[in-house]
Structures are given as C-alpha cells and as structure tokens.
Amino acid sequence: MGSESEVSVSKVKRTSKPKVRTGCITCNCDLLRGLQSSAPPVFEVSSKWINRIESKAAASKSNLTTRPSIGARFFVSPWSQDIPSPLSSILYSLCHLISRFEDIEDSDCRSLPLENDHLVLLANRLHSLPREITLTPFQDAIRLGTLCYLTVRVMRFEGNPCIENLIRTLRHNFEYSLPILSAVAPDLLFWILFISGIASQGFDSHIWCIENLRNCASQLGLRWWEDAASILEGYFFVSRLRNDPAKALWNSVVGGMTFVKQEQPML
C-alpha cells in the first residue's frame, strides 16, 4: 500500500510541474543578443510554438480593452500608405497588446504568459524585419522607435547595454531619415525622439536626444506637457500615474527652450 501511494504522489508531482516556455526564452535571448551586437537572429524557434501563440492571441484579442488613440497615427497619417504590410501588421497587433500592458502598469494585475509570449514574439519580429524585407530609412526609423518603446517602456530593459546599442543604431539611421521625418512627419519624429530620450537616460547619447527633441518641440510649437502628451499618445505611449520618467524628461526639454513672448497689439 505504501509503495503504491508513493508512486501515485510522484506521478502527480511530475505531471503538475510547470512547463518551461522554451519558445519565449529562446526569442527573448535572441532579441537581447541581437540588439547588443546588431546581429540577425540565430536561434530557430518552433513554428508550432509561433502558430499556437498567434492563434491564441487572435482568439483573445476580442476580450482586450483597446485605447482608441494608441497607435492611431500610424494608420491615419498622410505617410501611412508608405508603411510596408509586414511592419504595419506588427504595429496593428501591438496596438491591442500595448493597451493591455499599459493598463497592467497602472494596476496591481499581472500579465498572462500568453501576453508575454506574444510581446516577445512581436519584438523579435521587429528586430529581424530588415533581414526579411527592404526598409527605407523612414520606415526603419518607425521600426527602431517602436523597438525602443517595447524594450524600455514595456519589457523594462532600461539601462541594459543592448539599449545603448539600439540608440546608437537609431542615431545612425537619423543621418538619413532625420531631414525626411522633419519635413514630412514632425509629429512622428517627436515621438521617436521622446522615446529615445527616455531610453538613452544614463548613456552618452542622451544629450544628443535632448537637443534634437528641443528642436523638434520648438518646430511643433509645443510648450505644455498636455500638448506633448496628446501627440505621443497617438503613437505608442501612455502617460502613467506612478513613477513615470516621461514628465521629468519633458521638464528637462522645456527647461532649455527659449519661448518668444508675443507682444499684445496696441489699442
């Protein structure tokens, strides 16, 4: 009797052992390594795992409460038609997922394993996208800005050396895309620079981000946080209630800006 009981207990222990999410771990490691070294993915992730995550994510999407403004400018701007379909598809999926993670950030809830897996999968796809399709500097700036947001605001990799290399890659991209962004999509440029400013804190490139962010804010005529936030929230951004470095960044930006006081006309 005793031996049978021991056998049944051991079976229960084995069957109730938590499953190791190897697909998510592999994607996460590949993403960190790739961002650090600017290298393409090297690990082959099971297509079965990817299909399972995508099908479950699609089934649960209807249960997510979406903030209508999040990511809207990616799809309704004059330049939206220039975003290639694979990138547009990733951005669309992130609209729903980021709404969920930002709600979690300001609450005591925890994200579900499915949500974490889907986030890592989409971030990995963003990272590997230039190896799959050809992106213009303008399009790649969108990809890099989104990666900055995901890795710092959602995945919480701030301060990691891989983020410094990501900012370095973005600065190199700006050598080609900055004039185009400034002329065609200054609001998009403002968002990318603002997210870069948050991501670059503690790194040498932070001053560069601040200076360019001031120029862009001046071009847009932004003076108050509420006006800046309304632009940011049209992309991937939510002003958080607790411990948000975004407002501190904005204060440092406007602190170095010069505003010209308009004279009142004489009566």
pLDDT for residue 203? 92
CB of 147 within 8 A of CB of 155?
Answer: no
Q: Give me the pLDDT at residue 255, please.
A: 84
Rounded average pLDDT over 214-232: 94
- In percent, the amount of the chain with pLDDT more than 70 equals 70
Could you give phi then psi for residue 133, rounded to 5 degrees? -135, 160
Q: Looking at the chain, list the stretches that DSSP marks H as alpha helix, in order from N- to C-terminal side.
A: 2-15, 22-37, 47-60, 73-76, 85-105, 113-128, 137-149, 161-184, 186-199, 206-220, 225-232, 245-254
Other CB atoms within 10 A of residue 121 CB: 23
Predicted confidence band of residue 97 (pLDDT cuts 50, 70, 90): confident
Of 62-71, 101-110, 174-183, the range with the highest mean pLDDT is 174-183
Residue 122 above 70 pLDDT? yes
Residues 200-206 have a mean pLDDT of 91
Half-sphere exposure of residue 26: CA atoms within 13 angstroms, side-chain side: 13
Q: Are 180 and 137 a contacting pair, CB within 8 Å?
A: yes
pLDDT of 23 over the 60 cut: no
